[in-house]
């Protein structure tokens, strides 16, 4: 399991330190690595977070537990080593030429000082921000990003208005005026039917009287 975690995260142990070797362009989503083993008594928590305001990734590192002091430096190790603590420490993602690891972690401060002189880079700068459509594609599945809240509020309002309209139609169909009209139509039909029966009965009586007189 530990080997799978190291492989997936681009983490590797090399010459008394741990390296985070992922390319900056691949850090377009958030990653969280919990309890990465560094020896028998040390666990590290590492995370990569893409910031909402500028779409730039940063690295957070913290000690889950340890039996000694640990230090970290970002790409190139040009900045002074930072002592890791249970509270997370933030490191910028830097792009170097030639490409180097994004983060180095070791318990040997002297070794980290040596890395500053060992790592040779011609250029070093903050990694560029990811493009919006790349972040949107990985977060929402399409390049347009998440739909704004006003869109969903409008859809909900239209659904509510439509159902209120249907309820109004149903209420209008069962109002007293509609019932009165229905009773009136039924009464008129009854009168017509009664008149038809009486007319038929009267016609038969007339025929009977004529037959008797003959």
| Residue 10 backbone zone (phi > 0: left; psi -120 to 50: alpha; other: beta) | left
- Kindly report the backbone phi and psi dihedral angles of residue 29, in degrees, each rounded to the nearest multiple of 5, phi listed first: -145, 170
Taking the C-alpha atoms of residue 202 and residue 18, their distance in angstroms, rounded to an integer, is: 115
Span 194-205, pLDDT tens digits: 555 555 555 555
Among 7-16, 23-32, 144-153, 173-182, which is the least confidently predicted range?
173-182
- pLDDT-derived band at 214 (thresholds 50, 70, 90) equals very low
DSSP H helical ranges for 96-175: 109-118, 132-140, 149-173
What Å distances lie between residue 54 and 127, 179, 205, CA to CA?
12, 66, 102
Query: Given this model, what pLDDT does residue 191 score?
Result: 47
Query: Given this model, what pLDDT does residue 150 score?
Result: 81
Average pLDDT of the residues of the chain: 78
Give the pair of three-digit tokens for residue 205: 């009586």
Query: Given this model, what pLDDT does residue 149 score?
Result: 72
Say if residues 33 and 59 touch (Cβ distance below 8 Å).
no
Domain boundaries, the chain: 2-140, 149-213
- pLDDT-derived band at 133 (thresholds 50, 70, 90) equals low
């Amino acid at each position: 399991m530990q080997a799978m975690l190291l492989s997936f995260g681009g983490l590797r142990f090399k010459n008394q330190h741990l390296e985070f070797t992922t390319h900056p362009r691949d850090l377009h989503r958030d990653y969280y690595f919990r309890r990465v083993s560094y020896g028998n008594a040390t666990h590290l928590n590492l995370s990569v977070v893409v910031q909402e305001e500028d779409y730039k990734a940063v690295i957070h590192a913290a000690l889950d537990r340890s039996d000694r002091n640990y230090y970290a430096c970002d790409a190139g190790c040009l900045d002074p080593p930072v002592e890791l603590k249970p509270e997370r420490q933030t490191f910028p993602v830097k792009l170097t030429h030639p490409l180097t690891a994004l983060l180095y972690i070791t318990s040997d401060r002297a070794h980290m000082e040596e890395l500053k002189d060992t790592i040779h880079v011609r250029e070093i700068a903050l990694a560029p921000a990811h493009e919006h459509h790349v972040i949107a594609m990985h977060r929402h599945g399409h390049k347009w990003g998440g739909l704004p809240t006003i869109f969903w509020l409008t859809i909900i309002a239209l659904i509510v208005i439509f159902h209120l309209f249907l309820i109004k139609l149903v209420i209008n169909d069962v109002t007293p005026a509609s019932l009165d009209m229905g009773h009136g139509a039924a009464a008129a039909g009854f009168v017509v039917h009664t008149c038809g029966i009486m007319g038929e009965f009267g016609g038969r009586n007339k025929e009977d009287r004529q037959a008797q007189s003959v």
